[in-house]
Structure 1
Amino acid sequence: MASSALSQIDVSVLINSRKKFIDEYKILRVLATIMVVLGHSTYFVIEGSLGGVEYIVPEGILLSRLYNFFCYAQYIIYKFHMPLFFFLSGCLYYVSNFKKEYTIAFYPFLLSKVKRLLYPYLIAGLLFLIPVKFISGYYSNTKIIDAIWYGLILGRDSGHLWFLTTLFYVFITFFIIEKFIIKYNFWVGAITIFLLFFLNDKLLVPLPCFINVFRYLFWFYIGFLFEKYRLKVNDIIIRYPTISVSSTIWSFAIINFLTMYADRIDNFTIFSTGAVFIMKTLLTFLGILVTYVISLLLSQWQFFNCSKVVSILDKYSMDIYLFHDPLNYFILFAISILNDFFILQYKSGILLFLLLRTVGVIIVAIIIALGLKEIRGLNHKEQVKC
């Protein structure tokens, strides 16, 4: 059903004839998935263009060091975690299209992305996200037809599923730019993508679900370029691991401090606005780079490459992404019904709450994926019998 397609979004890419996976990319994908789950583990307010629900935050959890640590982790993660996914997709696009003996034509490429991105978007949205939103009270004043048409089909309230449609548009847009511009003139292509990135908020494209496509196209392109020089970068990182980790983390911290300070300035000039834009872009890149450095160094340890936990998280990373956030809706709704968040007055309750919204949603998402796989297997057997 959906599951087999979900976990294959340009992830299982081969790097040579011996069919070895790129270990650092595997771990990078796992870390990115964990970041997304952590980033969605602390909210009590869910808002959208067609609905929303707000839960009263208990005072006890606001005073919790553990909860505040998660909130701070969320603050850091949100600086770069979604661009990281597009960066990784760009890396793997380069691997799959420029390190093989053949290139794929546009229509097969388009159909593969429809199957791997748009089908899961519709299946997860119709059969999981929308029902959970109605159950949790998110769509208390919204008709189901509006939730489907405006929310899902037009993408005005698709929640976390926006990633799938945006990645679809990014793939198609980059395929066209690469074939007709970058292939013939690198600088014209690079400038075109940067200008689209810079003007993202000004450019309105009348297509359904076309959300920040040019912004993430830029990070896709950065990943595409990075893969060209990955082995050289790896050599430097592996030779100087301590310097690589410390320098990237400190650079991220310094630029983050500068952007925080700049955001508090009231009187902006055109120059200062441009400077802040550049700093925030650099901050995102440094966040991606820190995560990549850590992923590469972890990939050098046999423990991580042979870990069953890492392999499972890698295999079901897309399923975890698809199902984890609606599960958060359900957890918040269920706890509010059972005891109105009374358990969050206690440290043990806060710990259990955060575990449910991190480890718990990961486990349940994997179980759902396995269930879908089993159903698909049964359907296949029935078809064979007929």
Structure 2
Amino acid sequence: MEAHIKNETFMNNLKYLKLIALMLVVLGHSTDIYKGDWVLTSLHESIFYKWISLYVNSIHMQIFVFVSGAVYAYCRIEKKHYRSYVELLKSKLKRLIIPYIFIGALFMIPIEIKAGVSTYNLGYIYSVKNLILGYESGHLWFLMMLFVLFLLYYLLEKIIVRLNFKIIIIFLFCIQMFYSRLPRIFLVNKAIYYMFFFYLGYLIYLNLGSIIKIEGMISKHKVIFLFLGLIIIPILIKLRDNLPQIKIVISIFYNLISDLIALIGIIQMYSVVLTVKSLKLYSGIGKCFDYIDRFNFSIYLLHEPIIFLILIKVINLNPSSLVMSCFLISIIISIIMAEIYYLIKAQLRCLLTRKLT
């Protein structure tokens, strides 16, 4: 019974960790305009928001994939889901690929063509074809990548569980160094790259008993872990981006430092979860988190095109005002659109039920 409670507590913490990762994604897209190498550029420069963009873009997707690996293990072991490859395929097609194509073709691409994003300057039909093939999928790339990752991992899982975890980690790290040479179609290369973090999440769940003890240590020193991340990650980013331009050095150490940054980021953001849960105001914060969490997928799907619509109008606004506007408005409008969708869906279901009866 106690083990079950600890299990559910850990999974609840991961739910909040995923929500924090989502907020980082939105923040990253709200600050990308100041990176200098994004698809749009402001007349204003901001070193502060450039560093925020570099910071969150170094950890947010890795957190998402890490959580996905742990949740996959939970579903397989605790819930007995995905008993067959076909079951997994159907589930992930419905959950990931249908929204990917629907939102990409009908919402993302039209808006980003209007915004003048060069990725889509060859027209709508060509852009939709590239979306389906995974070559140009904007912020939705993660969905296609995760879909392929699930399918690949399921095929390899029986082999993975038999091998020593150190061998798997070393092997997956080595593959990361060659991911750019792997096929880009359907984002196979990125799926293989991120398998490292998926496996770590999977491994954490399999060894939850031991991890709970480590969590206790993190909980005791959560503020230290939180601020250490704020200090160490920028230093590592600076080091990574200034490596000697020697191919073998770049290949090994760039990936090594990137993975280290991501791992520190995962621990840091897990410390944020534990810190929030320890606050006296947690009951109110928890309700707010739970409300936003209901729309986490909708926010992910919709937020970036909304940010582009804002940028079309006020791209040269004061950096702080622009970032805050992009962050808050994209989240709020995404939630409103989701609420309207669910309301219409419920009404249509009621009408259909009445007709059938």
The answer as to 2:202 corresponding to 1:260 is: no
Name the % identity.
26
Aligned-partner Cα distance in 2 for 1:223–1:126: 32
Aligned-partner Cα distance in 2 for 1:247–1:322: 31
Unaligned runs of 5+ in 1: 1-14, 345-349
Aligned to 1:158: 137
- Contact 1:39–1:78 (CA<8 Å) still a contact in 2? yes
Aligned to 1:11: none
Aligned to 2:342: 373
The answer as to 2:11 corresponding to 1:22 is: yes
The one-character-per-residue Cα deviations of 1:32-74 (angstroms, maximum 9, x if unpaired) are: 11101110112448999xxx9645x234xx3xxxx54333222
1:357 Cα deviation from its structure 2 partner: 0.5
The answer as to 2:154 corresponding to 1:175 is: yes
Aligned to 2:312: 333
The answer as to 2:30 corresponding to 1:41 is: yes
Aligned to 2:21: 32
Aligned residues: 349
Aligned to 1:143: 123
- Contact 2:35–2:54 (CA<8 Å) still a contact in 1? no
How do 1:122-271 and structure 2 match up within 5 A?
122-138=101-117, 141-150=121-130, 152-179=131-158, 181-186=159-164, 189-190=168-169, 192-204=171-183, 207-239=185-217, 241=219, 243-247=221-225, 249-250=227-228, 253-254=231-232, 256-258=234-236, 260-261=238-239, 263-266=241-244, 268=246, 270=248
Q: 2:100 aligns with which of 110, 121, 125?
A: 121
Change in 2 beyond 3 A, CA 1:58/1:241: same
Amino acid at match of 1:23: N
How do 1:280-319 and structure 2 match up within 5 A?
280-301=258-279, 303-304=281-282, 306=284, 307-319=286-298
- Contact 1:23–1:305 (CA<8 Å) still a contact in 2? no
1:272 Cα deviation from its structure 2 partner: 7.2
The answer as to 2:37 corresponding to 1:58 is: no
SS in 1 for 2:221: helix
Amino acid at match of 2:267: L
Q: 2:330 aligns with which of 361, 366, 369?
A: 361
TM-score when scaled to structure 2? Answer: 0.85
How do 1:337-352 and structure 2 match up within 5 A?
341=316, 343-344=317-318, 350-352=319-321
Structure 1 range deviating more: 267-276 or 33-42: 267-276
More helix by share: 2
1:155 Cα deviation from its structure 2 partner: 2.0
Unaligned runs of 5+ in 2: none
Q: Which structure exhibits the higher relative contact order, with contacts defined as CA atoms closer than 8 Å and separated by 6 or more residues?
A: 1
Aligned-partner Cα distance in 1 for 2:267–2:34: 31
CA RMSD of aligned residues (A): 3.2
- Contact 1:248–1:286 (CA<8 Å) still a contact in 2? no
The one-character-per-residue Cα deviations of 1:138-172 (angstroms, maximum 9, x if unpaired) are: 3684322112112x111222100000000001111
